[in-house]
């Protein structure tokens, strides 16, 4: 069996120029509004994202990876996944951010040789779908795609927290390390769920994140785009 761990590490690297470093995963507005102040608050915020929007995004990434594997890509299912993920994002700002990041990831994936796969997604796919199809192009598994999404879900919060709250980076990354078991469990769930009917895929919501996203877009002096 060919070892594709290097490709997995590449996609999970926060230095990949796909734009996510300019986003706080909703943490900046939460800090601005006083909901997150301490390291323990950051822990709760990261864990909450993993269980809600993180699980949804991970399952959709796994489903996109599954649909794009093999010689015959299921374009109909990819289109259905796009619409279903749109429906799970009530906030127009959140949808716009996801598609912006997806567009940037498509550019990166094309440069890395996955253009034939990601071209099937259209010009502005949601980020989890672009990630899933890119993983398929590198012959990674649906579980691998879910792992990348879940890692980014938590790691993006931690990286932003260090800047926004001037936290000790070592203490902040201990929070990320503490999430590793749950990330593995959620990746297993995503792999199991990803082959189901689109309407039956997870739809866990975090309404306050949608409120934050709408407020943040109108706020002056932002450090992060979202």
- Distance of alpha carbon 109 from alpha carbon 105, whole angstroms: 6
pTM attached to this predicted model: 0.93
Question: What length does the chain have?
Answer: 226
pLDDT tens for 37-63 read 999 999 999 999 999 999 999 999 999
pLDDT given for residue 6 in this prediction? 84
The C-alpha atoms of residue 205 and residue 121 are separated, in whole angstroms, by: 25
Run of H or E including 13: none
Q: Work out the average pLDDT over 16-30.
A: 88
* Residue 2 pLDDT > 90: no
Give which of 95, 138, 96 is closest to 118, Cα–Cα.
138
CA 91 to chain CA centroid, nearest Å:
16
DSSP state of 14: T
- Per-residue pLDDT at 3: 54
Average pLDDT, the chain: 91
pLDDT reported for residue 15: 81
Q: Please report the sign of the dihedral spanned by the C-alpha atoms of residue 44, residue 50, residue 51, residue 53.
A: positive
Sign of the four-CA dihedral 173, 174, 180, 182:
negative
Ranges of beta strands (E only) in 2-70 are none
pLDDT at residue 1 in the model: 36
DSSP code per residue over 176-223: HHHTHHHHHHHHHHHHHHTTS-GGGS-----HHHHHHHHHHHT-SS-S
Mean local confidence (pLDDT), 15-44: 91
């Amino acid at each position: 069996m060919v070892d594709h761990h290097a490709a997995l590490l590449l996609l999970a690297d926060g230095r990949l120029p796909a734009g996510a470093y300019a986003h706080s995963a909703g943490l900046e507005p939460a800090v601005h509004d006083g909901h997150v102040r301490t390291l323990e608050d950051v822990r709760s915020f990261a864990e909450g994202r993993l269980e809600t929007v993180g699980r949804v995004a991970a399952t959709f990434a796994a489903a996109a990876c599954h649909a794009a594997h093999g010689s015959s890509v299921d374009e109909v299912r990819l289109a259905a996944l796009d619409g279903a993920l749109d429906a799970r994002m009530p906030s127009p700002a959140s949808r716009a951010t996801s598609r912006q990041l997806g567009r940037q990831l498509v550019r990166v994936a094309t440069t890395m040789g996955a253009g034939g796969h990601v071209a099937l997604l259209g010009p502005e796919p949601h980020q989890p779908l672009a990630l899933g199809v890119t993983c398929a192009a590198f012959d990674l598994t649906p579980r691998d795609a879910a792992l990348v999404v879940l890692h980014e879900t938590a790691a993006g919060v931690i990286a932003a927290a260090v800047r926004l709250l001037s936290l000790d980076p070592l203490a902040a990354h201990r929070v990320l390390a503490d999430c590793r078991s749950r990330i593995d469990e959620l990746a297993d769930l995503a792999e199991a769920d990803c082959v189901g009917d689109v309407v039956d895929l997870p739809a866990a919501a975090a309404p306050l994140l949608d409120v934050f996203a709408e407020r943040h877009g109108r706020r002056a002096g932002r450090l992060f785009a979202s």
